[in-house]
Every structure is written in C-alpha cells, then in structure tokens.
Amino acid sequence: MREALASTNDEARGLAEQGAADGLVVLTENQTAGRGRRGADWFAAAGASLAFSIVVRPAEPKSLWPRLALAAGLAVAEAAEACASQVGIKWPNDIWIGRRKVAGILVEAGQDFAVVGIGINVNTREFPPQLATLATSLQLAAGQAQDRALVLTNILARFALRRNQIGAGFDELLDGVRLRCVLSGHAVSLVTASGPRHGTMEGLGPGGELLLRTPGGLERIIQADEVRLA
C-alpha cells in the first residue's frame, strides 16, 4: 500500500522487473497520473476509489496473455454484482453499470510478466464535468457507501480464479463475459489499426474476438483502440 503514486502500473512494472513474485498487488490511496488505454487519463477520486495493479507471471503461452483483460473484466464485474445491478462488460476492458463506466482495466506485458491495472469508482459521488454523464460509482448505483476493502478482496478472489482460465477453461471464462457483454446486438463504431469500422456486434468469437457484421460480411476484430455504441 502506497499513500500516493503516479501510476500503480508503472510501480508494479518496476517491481516486476526487479523480480517481484506473481500475485503482488500495488495499491495506492491517491493515483496522480493514472492512465487508461491509448494513454488516456484515468480519474480516481482519492480515498473514494480503488486504484491497484497486479503482477502476473502466467504459465500459459504469451500469445494468450491478452485474455487477461477479459479475465480481469469478468472478475471486476462479478465483484461489482455484489453491490449493484445492471453490471455489464464493454469489450474489451470497461465495466459499466447501466450505460455508465464504473471501472477500467489496463493490461501491459513485460518480458516474462504482465501487469493488470484496475481502477474502480467505489464511493465517488462527484465527477469532473466532462465525465459527469459518462461515469458512475458503486455507491451511486447502490444508493449507499461500500466497503472498499471488501470490494478489493472480492475482485482479487475472482481474478485469482479467472486468470487461470485464459488457457484451459477459457470457454467458461468466455461464457461469463458473453453473458454480460453490453455491446452484443448493437450498432458500434470502432477504431482499429487498419482504420475505422462500423457495423453490428454479433457477439464474441471462440478466442474472445469481437464479431462485427458489416455490409461486406462478418469481421473478426482482435483489438480495437476505441469502441463506441453508434
């Protein structure tokens, strides 16, 4: 536990490079320079949110490590369901309650480890103006304050299970994600390495990829920089 850190992911990466063990958790009360995917800023209200990173040294091949984002997303969603209803997963790494974001996940790989960063709004009651209509918290959704230590414990327990399903057991992991996927059946727009894509999300493929129905046929999207409901 650190009182303040610029980024728990950066701290965890540094510790992992020094040999930190699998399962090490870096947690801070005040993350001053948290980031999401593509380097976007991540707002975390000091003392009201959870900002932490987990060092993971998977036994599975590195080609399967991107599935850690799905494992972490499902773990967070399952923990959030103990506090609120209408919890969903926005592929690949955001957790929503209703149509508002309550948590985000950033997975970064090193040479022989991965860092899974998780930020979740627990007892945040107010957000910056630019996020006021986009974000929510467990407290706002549940109507009462939540025990942050209990939320953390629940997330870590669920992740300890789900991380072991990125290889064997992936079908079970994927079923849990599909059940909660908020994009299925909706028109979406994506930004990918090969350009923008638009279509209807038909679900997730056997490897966790997004299945996008476009006028040209069915596309399998493995990675996207941005995904929005159209």
Q: Which of 31-35, 127-131, 154-158, 165-169 has the lowest mean pLDDT?
A: 31-35
pLDDT of residue 182: 96
* Residue extents of the structural domains in the chain: 2-180, 187-229
Nearest-angstrom CA–CA distance, 134 and 130: 8
pLDDT by residue (tens digit) across 98-130?
A: 999 999 999 999 999 999 999 999 999 988 888
Which top CATH class is 187-229? mainly beta
**Nearest Cα residue to 156 out of 44, 75, 49:** 75
What fold is seen in the domain 2-180? BirA Bifunctional Protein; domain 2 (3.30.930)
Instruction: Say what the pLDDT of residue 40 is.
Output: 56
Residue 7 has pLDDT above 80, yes or no: yes
> What pLDDT was estimated at residue 92?
85
Q: How many residues does the chain have?
A: 230
Give me the chain's average pLDDT, please.
92
Mean pLDDT value of segment 211-228: 92
Residue 194 is predicted with a pLDDT of: 86
**Phi and psi (nearest 5°) for 209?**
-75, 155
Is 51:31 a contact under the CB 8 Å cutoff?
Answer: yes
Per-residue pLDDT tens over the stretch 24-79: 999 998 777 766 555 556 667 778 899 999 999 999 999 999 999 999 999 999 99
Mean pLDDT of 170-194: 95
Please give the pLDDT value at position 178. 97
* pLDDT at 43 (0 to 100): 66
